[in-house]
């Protein structure tokens, strides 16, 4: 046989084997698919990609389509991974059972991408190491729910709001010729920056100068309150935090083969990895610096009650915390553990709170009756003095305000999908699935489900009033999942509610607030949470009329 013939035979054989392998894989894939036990409805999957090609944009957009087409419980394939989507409150009972025996205490199935950016063995949200998650979560929970921390939160929010008002006044003076006493603001941009500043100072006792930077971008003059170096460092840090947040979504969703072989994905992956490293280094530096500062502080001097100091001192002779540790948690935290927790607050606490606030502003703009009732509530608590400072004790009295936050969050579902994984084989309504199945709770569908909510599309905060009284409103269990549920429920819930109520009081008591464009529907995009895009408002200081 000639050399050429030998090559032809070889190629022929390779082609034959490849075709046989593909046929075998297809047969195996579809055999598995069609013989699966008690199948759920769902789109027809293709080998290797599964339903991935039908998934565009964000899981939330897709989730809506899935529920409309396949009902309250359905399945999809991401590559070869079978995922179950749930869209009704009674079906999530097991998932949110608040018990350590719960089968759904891990958030997400193994993802190489998340391993690569090192979030699956530390911190909280994506930590897959159960013991490490428990340890971190315990300290995190305790630190941010302490009374001292809550009170401090109100003080910082008040002080920073005043600083922001100075910038607003300056901008208004600059624009007086064109818009008189009113000022037009892009509240979504201001709020992202404002919550960044509040959360940053609360966690690290250092300023981020985020809204001061934004003022500099808008103004003819530059703020003299902070140095140029601080401002540049701050802007870089903020960009770095945003890249980090984007990286979480990117590495969670993008298969490693795409990141390895598709040039545009590869480039983005390398850039984001360098951003993640940069942010980790910045925060590690911050942790080490603070540790040194604590060591240098004389024993008699009080240390500040920020989260970083709490986590660094717990279970050490300088412990500033009250009952942060217990008999099961007796060792101090390592620098890596502290750093992971601090990053967690920044990543989970900024966008969620800022965007919820913007959606509240949008709804109050469209519902003057609701705004009026809210102002009456403020008046009954604070009286006529527009400058009377809000105190922690006021918050529990803000019942209607609380109802507004809940109703806006129901309609907008800031976290539209909650991820969980089955740790052992299980079944839901007689549909069985093995250990390691990804379960996605479609919160936005549950929040709008007609069997849980009367007129679900209607904005009506009063549906949250008078609960717990015999003739009052009843909320179906697990039908309101703004902060999730069970042991993995959002640990920042109280902090977020405190921050939101304080902001509502600060803005609406002092200012008349209107939407610039009443006819424009709310604009938003998704990146793990729902982001409000460019919400323009017009504000007028009420005190100037007095």
**Residue ranges that bind ligand HEM, judged by CB under 6 A:** 107, 124-125, 137, 144, 344-345, 348-349, 352-353, 356, 414-415, 418, 482-485, 488-492, 495-496
Between residues 102 and 256, which has the closer beta carbon with respect to ligand HEM?
A: 102
CB of 107 to ligand HEM, least distance (A): 6
DSSP H helical segments within 176-255, as ranges?
Answer: 176-179, 187-204, 210-218, 228-253
Q: Map residue 475 onto helix, strand or coil.
A: coil
CB of 112 to ligand HEM, least distance (A): 20
Between residues 52 and 501, which has the closer beta carbon with respect to ligand HEM?
A: 501
DSSP H helical segments within 367-398, as ranges?
Answer: 368-382
CB of 372 to ligand HEM, least distance (A): 24
* Closest C-alpha among 356, 371, 369, 366 to residue 500: 356
125 and 326 Cβ atoms separated by less than 8 Å: no
Q: Map residue 243 onto helix, strand or coil.
A: helix
Rounded to 5 degrees, φ, ψ at 171 are -65, -35
Strand segments (E) across 369-492: 417-421, 426-428, 431-433, 438-442
Q: End-to-end CA distance of the chain, in Å?
A: 104
Between residues 231 and 237, which has the closer beta carbon with respect to ligand HEM?
A: 237
CB of 115 to ligand HEM, least distance (A): 17
Nearest-angstrom CA–CA distance, 116 and 122: 12
Between residues 308 and 415, which has the closer beta carbon with respect to ligand HEM?
A: 415
Nearest-angstrom CA–CA distance, 526 and 325: 37
Both tokens assigned to 253 = 């969703």
CB of 449 to ligand HEM, least distance (A): 17
CB of 24 to ligand HEM, least distance (A): 40
Nearest-angstrom CA–CA distance, 52 and 260: 17
Between residues 36 and 138, which has the closer beta carbon with respect to ligand HEM?
A: 138
Nearest-angstrom CA–CA distance, 366 and 221: 34
Strands lying side by side in the sheet with 81-86: 73-78, 81-86, 438-442, 417-421
Identify the H or E element spanning 83.
strand 81-86
CB of 344 to ligand HEM, least distance (A): 5
Between residues 351 and 541, which has the closer beta carbon with respect to ligand HEM?
A: 351
208, 233, 351, 414 from 236: Cα distances, Å = 10, 5, 17, 26
Between residues 203 and 234, which has the closer beta carbon with respect to ligand HEM?
A: 203
365 and 514 Cβ atoms separated by less than 8 Å: yes
* Closest C-alpha among 409, 425, 543 to residue 464: 409
Burial class, 115, CB count within 10 angstroms (exposed 0-12 / middle 13-18 / buried 19+): middle
Between residues 495 and 505, which has the closer beta carbon with respect to ligand HEM?
A: 495
CB of 353 to ligand HEM, least distance (A): 5
Compute the CA torsion angle 93, 96, 97, 100 (nearest 10 deg). 150
Between residues 381 and 489, which has the closer beta carbon with respect to ligand HEM?
A: 489
CB of 177 to ligand HEM, least distance (A): 38
Between residues 117 and 231, which has the closer beta carbon with respect to ligand HEM?
A: 117
Q: Which residues of 4-34 are buried (b: 16+ CB within 10 A; e: fewer)?
A: eeeeeeeeeeeeeeeeeeeeeeeeebeeeee
CB of 28 to ligand HEM, least distance (A): 34
Rounded to 5 degrees, φ, ψ at 399 are -70, -45
Nearest-angstrom CA–CA distance, 152 and 391: 10
Between residues 461 and 492, which has the closer beta carbon with respect to ligand HEM?
A: 492
Both tokens assigned to 97 = 């059972």
For residue 490, say whether it is annotated as part of any ligand binding site.
Answer: yes
CB of 350 to ligand HEM, least distance (A): 8
Nearest-angstrom CA–CA distance, 315 and 332: 5
Binding residues: 490
Binding residues for heme: 490
């Amino acid at each position: 046989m000639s050399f050429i013939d030998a090559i032809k035979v070889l190629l022929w054989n390779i082609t034959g084997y490849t075709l046989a392998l593909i046929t075998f894989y297809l047969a195996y894939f579809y055999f598995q698919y069609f013989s699966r036990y008690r199948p759920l409805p769902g789109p027809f999957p293709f080998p290797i990609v599964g339903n991935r090609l039908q998934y565009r944009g964000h899981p939330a957009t897709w989730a809506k389509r899935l529920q409309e087409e396949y009902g309250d419980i359905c399945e999809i394939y991401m590559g070869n991974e079978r995922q179950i989507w749930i869209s009704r409150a009674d079906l999530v009972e097991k998932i949110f059972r608040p018990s350590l025996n719960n089968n759904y205490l891990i958030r997400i199935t193994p993802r190489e991408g998340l391993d690569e950016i090192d979030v699956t063995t530390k911190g909280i949200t994506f930590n897959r190491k159960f013991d490490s998650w428990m340890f971190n979560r315990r300290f995190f929970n305790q630190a941010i729910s302490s009374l001292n921390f809550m009170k401090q939160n109100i003080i910082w929010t008040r002080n920073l709001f005043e600083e922001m008002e100075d910038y607003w006044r300056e901008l208004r003076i600059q624009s007086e010729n064109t818009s008189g006493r009113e000022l037009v603001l892009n509240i979504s941009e201001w709020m992202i920056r404002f919550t960044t500043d509040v959360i940053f100072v609360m966690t690290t006792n250092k300023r981020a100068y985020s809204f001061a930077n934004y003022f500099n971008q808008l103004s003819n003059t530059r703020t003299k309150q902070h140095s140029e170096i601080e401002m540049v460092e701050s802007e870089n840090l903020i960009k770095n935090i945003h890249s980090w947040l984007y990286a979480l979504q990117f590495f969670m969703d993008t298969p490693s083969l795409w990141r390895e072989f598709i040039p545009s994905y590869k480039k983005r992956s390398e850039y984001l990895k360098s951003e993640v490293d940069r942010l980790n280094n910045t925060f590690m530096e911050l942790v080490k610096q603070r540790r040194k500062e604590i060591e240098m502080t004389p024993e008699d001097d009080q240390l500040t009650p920020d989260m970083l100091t709490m986590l660094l001192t717990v279970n050490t002779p300088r412990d500033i915390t009250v009952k942060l540790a217990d008999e099961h948690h007796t060792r101090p935290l390592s620098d890596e553990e502290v750093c992971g927790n601090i990053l967690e607050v920044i990543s989970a606490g900024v966008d969620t709170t800022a965007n919820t606030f913007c959606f509240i502003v949008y709804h109050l703009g469209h519902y003057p009756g609701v705004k009026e009732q809210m102002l009456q509530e403020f008046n009954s608590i604070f009286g006529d003095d527009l400058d009377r400072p809000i105190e922690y004790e006021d918050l529990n009295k803000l019942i209607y305000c609380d109802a507004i936050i809940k109703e806006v969050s129901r309609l907008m579902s800031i976290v539209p999908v909650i991820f969980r994984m089955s740790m052992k084989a299980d079944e839901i309504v007689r549909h069985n699935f093995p250990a390691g199945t990804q379960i996605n709770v479609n919160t936005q569908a549950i929040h709008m489900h007609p069997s849980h909510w009367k007129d679900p599309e209607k904005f009506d905060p009063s549906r949250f009033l008078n609960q717990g009284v015999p003739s009052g409103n009843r909320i179906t269990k697990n039908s309101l999942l703004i902060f999730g549920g069970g042991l993995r429920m959002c640990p920042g819930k109280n902090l977020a509610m405190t921050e939101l109520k304080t902001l509502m009081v600060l803005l609406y008591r002092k200012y008349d607030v209107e939407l610039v464009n009443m006819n424009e529907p709310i604009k938003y995009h998704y990146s793990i949470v729902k982001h409000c895009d460019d919400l323009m408002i017009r504000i007028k200081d009420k005190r100037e009329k007095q």
